[in-house]
Amino acid sequence: MKTPLDSRCPTLGAAVAALAWLSTLHPQPALAQTPKADGFAPSLNDVPYALAIQPDGKVLVGGALAFVGLDQRNAIARLNADGTPDAQFDPEADGPVYSLALQPDGKILVGGAFTMLAGQPSSYLARLNPDGTLDGTFDPQANGEVYCLAVQPDGKLLVGGDDVELAGEAPSSLARVNADGTPDDHFAPQDNGAGLSVGLQADGRILAGGERTFERLNNTELATQAISCDGSTITWMRGGSSPEAWRTTFEVSTNGADWTMLGDGSRVPGGWQLSGVAVPTGGTVRARGYVVGGEYCASSWFVETLLPPGGLAPPLIILNDGHFGFGANGFGFDVSGAAGQVAAVDGSSNLVNWLPLQTNTLSSGSFYFSDPGAEAKGRQFYRARLVQ
């Protein structure tokens, strides 16, 4: 079992441990902070290990806490925008919460050293509904403390911890589960003990670190994104193994050096959008997505993409129009884009080596691609890209 305060910084570790020990002598909060100018002054009786900010401004807190102000909150709490505890949220965990992550639908992923959550048996890794009740559709059957989480936009979840066992499978320091909590059998990296910290790059590659290990892994799936703008509405679609952002911003520049903030994005199915803006002629749009992760959610970074002046969104593979999948001519799907674009579809068996399969000019905004030999190839990945 890994202690939350390790020996990498003994002086600070001892000081924080002493404060935590002192706090156990007082049932009332011992670590109250000085009120700030904006009135945000939450009072916690122990060190918070994990934070997650909801779109409505409320803050999720995980740790070994027992009180927020005068209200009892065991290991997990939600704060209102002014720092007071949210009276409608009290799931209670019987052990420390080390990691929190938000899904696009508002559900809350929780990792730690607990065996009970929201009044029900639930060990180490669980998912809460937005109201704090346990989501019974997510059942990873975890056995082993969970220290870090990273959410992909496709709903899959990277899990790092102390030899975590999922659904009876072999213990591993780094694993991935599907959206329903079942183990992802396509993800089986060599276990090098890199389960203390995990993060996703913009291209989907996975950074993982442990006490003596830091490595980068290729993902088994593509990271997808597409940005478009019609002059007043900017849409940024994100999917696959991209890192899930908790917030996005959009900016514009006419010289590539000075950027003007247009506003924060709002969630739409599959991505983010900002409407009611005026993008000047010749302006470049910059989209940024802000990501948190690492051990105890202690790291943050951003991913970004640019849409040049008059730029066209890259072609997209359409997943939900009824044409995606096996048919009479093998595996196929529709590719959409702007009329006049030249789009290519490439195939790969390993996400490293790609072979061009078909190139088409989009005359009506879409075309159908099929791969007659897909079934014989076994596992196959596809991507659509802009040729010109």
301-323, pLDDT tens digit by residue? Answer: 889 999 888 666 668 888 878 88
- Residue-wise over 234-262: b if at least 16 C-beta within 10 A, else e? bbbbbbbbbbbbbebbbbbbeeeeeeeeb
Q: Of 222, 133, 146, which Cα lies nearest the Cα of 177?
A: 146
How far is the CA of 345 from the CAs of 104, 226, 334, 360, 373, in angstroms? Answer: 29, 16, 11, 9, 15
Which residue type is seen at 113? A
pLDDT > 90? residue 218: no
Q: Which two tokens stand for residue 133?
A: 């009740």
Check residue 1 and give its pLDDT.
41
Check residue 61 and give its pLDDT.
95
To which H or E segment does residue 15 belong? helix 10-23
Range of weakest confidence among 5-14, 25-34, 117-126: 5-14
**Residue 17, C-beta contacts closer than 8 angstroms, at least 6 positions apart:** 5
**pLDDT exceeding 70 applies to what percent of the chain?**
89
For residues 353 and 37, which has the higher predicted lDDT (pLDDT)?
A: 353
* pLDDT band (50, 70, 90) for residue 24: very low
For residues 220 and 3, which has the higher predicted lDDT (pLDDT)?
A: 220
Residue with tokens 């196959």: 380
pLDDT > 60? residue 139: yes
Check residue 30 and give its pLDDT.
41
Q: Of 80, 121, 95, 132, which Cα lies nearest the Cα of 1?
A: 95
Q: How far is residue 56's CA from residue 44's CA, in Å, rounded to a whole number? A: 21
Average pLDDT of every residue of the chain: 84
* pLDDT band (50, 70, 90) for residue 364: confident
To which H or E segment does residue 267 belong? strand 266-268
Check residue 35 and give its pLDDT.
52
Phi, psi angles (nearest 5°) of residue 88: -90, 5
Q: How far is residue 180's CA from residue 114's CA, in Å, rounded to a whole number? A: 20
Whole-model pTM? 0.70
Check residue 116 and give its pLDDT.
96
Mean pLDDT of 17-21: 27
Count of C-beta atoms within a 10 Å radius of residue 385:
14
**For residue range 73-127, what is the model confidence (pLDDT) as tens digits?**
999 999 998 889 999 999 999 999 999 999 999 999 999 999 999 999 999 999 9
- Strand partners of residue 266: 273
Q: Are 97 and 149 in contact (CB under 8 A)?
A: no
47 phi-psi bin (left φ>0, alpha ψ -120 to 50, beta other): beta
How far is the CA of 82 from the CAs of 46, 53, 239, in angstroms? Answer: 19, 13, 34
